[in-house]
Structure 1
């Protein structure tokens, strides 16, 4: 699987591009703030065409550039419980945080809702851009947070570490940490259930591509992540 990862310009939210190979359709996952130029270069260099945008959740730092990417037949896929956030994600962050984002971004934030939005639910399997993607509902960071599971791994990774599948965890699971639950729509109780019933059952051979920070593996997180201990 051809895989590219690069952070947005604000809060370093990771954007991912997945494809079966050069010259093919691709999936764009979590296009955040200020990723357009880098994304455009990746698409041009590898002759990729976005077939869909997958959103792990509806927070601004993960969805801000969804509309520039979407259009025509390219839809944004989001869990039904986070669908309301795409109406105006700017309305769901505090004024001080918005001011900080705009100062760091260097421009006034604007928003236009995607023309095509497809609501997904946990347990669905999507067939997009030649890839099979499992949708796993994992609320806690937001009501509609999901993991996206793919039964393959980025090219070359399996030569370096024992991984056989990939899971994009958004802001549910990070290397050594988890997503915060004190924002509107967050729930510590729901996060604990998601960690116990969704994250812990993931196989040790799963490569974890999180919404922030470096990639990791479930084997490593199970052994070292303090938020998974004792669950």
Structure 2
């Protein structure tokens, strides 16, 4: 599975481009702030055509470039409970953060919603770009946070024993989890998601998070302090 990962220009949000192989259709996952040129370059280099944009949740740093990356005909997929965030994510961002972004990039932040949006539900099974994608609803960071599971692993992964992949968004990071103190966050819901959705994942799952380095469920089960004592 061809997998290209790169950070956005703000907040180090990971954007992923995933395809069965070069020259095929692809999925773009979490196109954050300032990724448009990099996505376009990756598509040209590998001769890829976007079939869908998958959003792990609706926070600005994960969706800011969704409309330009989608273009007119490609749909954005987001859980129904985070659908409202695509109406205008700027409206629910701290004004100080917006000012910081405007100072960093030298222009006022703007928002354009994608033309086509597909609402997801937990346990949806998708077939997109020749890939099978399972949807795992894992609220806590936001109401509609999801993880996307794939039965393959990226080409070239060595040094770890992995047999499947999960794009965990801001649910699970290497050594940490997503914060729950932002609007729509819920600590109790996050605890349930970690116990009922994250912990049952096989040890051989490769975790590609929304921020930070990749990890494995084997490593997180053994070392992540936020998973200790939850039970499976």
TM range (shorter): over 0.9
d(CA) in 2 for partners of 1:131, 1:97: 37
Equivalent pairs counted in the alignment come to 230
Please state if 1:133 is matched with 2:133. yes
Match of 1:213 in 2: 212
d(CA) in 1 for partners of 2:79, 2:127: 16
Match of 2:192 in 1: 193
Question: Structure 1: any 5+ residue segments left out of the alignment?
Answer: none
Match of 1:85 in 2: 85
Moved beyond 6 Å, runs of 4+ = none
d(CA) in 2 for partners of 1:86, 1:79: 11
d(CA) in 2 for partners of 1:32, 1:230: 34
Match of 2:29 in 1: 29
d(CA) in 1 for partners of 2:178, 2:48: 31
CA offsets 1:130-174 (integer angstroms, 9 cap, x no match) = 0000000000000000000000000011x4210000000000000
* Aligned 8 A contact 1:71 1:116 in 2: no
* Aligned 8 A contact 1:56 1:170 in 2: yes
TM-score (normalised: structure 2)? 0.98
TM-score (normalised: structure 1)? 0.98
Taking only aligned residues, the RMSD between alpha carbons, in angstroms, comes to: 0.8
d(CA) in 2 for partners of 1:2, 1:17: 8
CA offsets 1:25-60 (integer angstroms, 9 cap, x no match) = 000000000111111110000000000000000000
Pairwise CA distance, 1:106: 3.1
